[in-house]
Amino acid sequence: ETGVTQTPRHLVMGMTNKKSLKCEQHLGHNAMYWYKQSAKKPLELMFVYNFKEQTENNSVPSRFSPECPNSSHLFLHLHTLQPEDSALYLCASSQSRANSPLHFGNGTRLTVT
């Protein structure tokens, strides 16, 4: 399997549920990212991990909790979300150096009811 793989592709959850999004990259990259994409808004960077260490938390509410056990895997744990958190959540990876482009996964379409 190649590229960046995200699961699940679609997720519907209630506001009291706990769920997790999973991302795996097979590109040998050492940086991984979570982005949120909402309608009519730019992609919003949420978290950045370099060599498993979190290097960026873009003022994300604590109901989103990232986990990066190694350079190939990234999780986003979700709990007590709000309807406005409904969006496309994109995982990406890159080499951890300047000029490196991001490679995106297919995303998880999240709906919070």
Partner 1 sequence: QKEVEQNSGPLSVPEGAIASLNCTYSDRGSQSFFWYRQYSGKSPELIMSIYSNGDKEDGRFTAQLNKASQYVSLLIRDSQPSDSATYLCAADTGANSKLTFGKGITLSVRP
Contacts of 9 (CB under 8 A, 6+ apart): 106, 107, 108, 109
The minimum distance between CB 94 and partner 1, in angstroms, equals 5
Residue 16 vs 99, nearer CB to partner 1: 99
Which residue's entry shows tokens 């709906």? 111
Residues constituting the chain: 113
Residue 18 vs 56, nearer CB to partner 1: 56
Residues numbered 48-107 forming contacts with partner 1, rule: CB under 8 A: 48, 50, 55-56, 90, 94-107
Residues that bind partner 1 (CB under 8 A): 31, 40-43, 45, 48, 50, 55-56, 90, 94-107
